[in-house]
Amino acid sequence: MADKSEFETIAVVHLDAVYRAAVALCGRQEDARDLVQATYLKALERFDSFRPGTNCRAWLMRILRNTWIDEIRHRKVAGPAVPLAEELVPDPPHAQEAVWSDADDILNNFGDQDVIRALRELPEQLRVTLFLVDVEQFSQEEVAEITDVAVGTVKSRTSRARAMLKQRLLAHARDLGFMRRQL
């Protein structure tokens, strides 16, 4: 059986990554903090089931995901507490006057909030998969284990998420007047 000091040595070092994933799942920092706390409490309680030599970060992410799903189920029973969109992401700054002709130039000129908004508009399964693969740099096999789906599903979700994200950002660029024509 593992003790608390061993847990701190092995699991607490991944706190930042777990928090980033929680923010990606929840969309709000307050909810993410609560989710991380619940995740680490469950992880500590179940630390004796952790197999030394395996990927602790992936183990924690799976606990995070399952805890998040449990909380969503609980909210459905208790009633939704959905935050207003304005609470999640502030309005983007006014559009710049410049017009770019290349899609890569356009995408490079987006602010963080524009990208965050586009990410949050993705379907949940695609957003979570993209976050784990591209932000947290998990392998597709690790993401498959964390999300309990086949590796092929992770590959297709990653591809679809990237394509949808690009399309949303390009549409946003057109809306802001960054583009004169369709690319």
What whole-number distance in Å separates Cα of residue 130 and Cα of residue 109? 21
What whole-number distance in Å separates Cα of residue 64 and Cα of residue 25? 9
In the prediction, which pLDDT does 96 show? 38
In the prediction, which pLDDT does 29 show? 86
**Among 7, 22, 12, which residue's Cα sits nearest to residue 131?**
22
Where, residue-wise, is CATH 1.10.10.10 in the chain? 92-175
The torsion defined by the Cα of 126, 53, 45 and 71, in degrees rounded to 10, comes to 0
In the prediction, which pLDDT does 151 show? 96
Those residues whose C-beta lies under 8 Å from the C-beta of residue 16, and which sit 6 or more positions away, are: none
Looking at domain 92-175, its CATH architecture is: Orthogonal Bundle (1.10)
What's the token pair of residue 33? 């903090």
Cβ pair 143, 133 in contact under 8 A: yes
Those residues whose C-beta lies under 8 Å from the C-beta of residue 32, and which sit 6 or more positions away, are: 19, 22, 23, 25, 26
Neighbours of 7 (CB within 10 A): 17
Count the alpha carbons within 13 Å of 130 in the hemisphere toward its beta carbon.
23
Tens place of pLDDT for every residue, the chain, 183 residues? 456 788 888 888 999 999 988 888 887 888 999 999 999 999 999 888 888 888 899 999 999 989 988 888 877 655 544 443 434 433 334 333 334 445 555 555 566 677 778 888 889 899 989 989 988 888 999 999 888 999 999 999 999 999 998 888 888 777 777 666 555
In the prediction, which pLDDT does 74 show? 79
What's the token pair of residue 6? 């061993």
Cβ pair 142, 58 in contact under 8 A: yes
Count the alpha carbons within 13 Å of 153 in the hemisphere toward its beta carbon.
13
CATH of domain 4-78: 1.10.1740.10
Residue range 120-170, pLDDT digits in tens: 888 989 998 998 998 888 899 999 988 899 999 999 999 999 999 888 888
Where, residue-wise, is CATH 1.10.1740.10 in the chain? 4-78
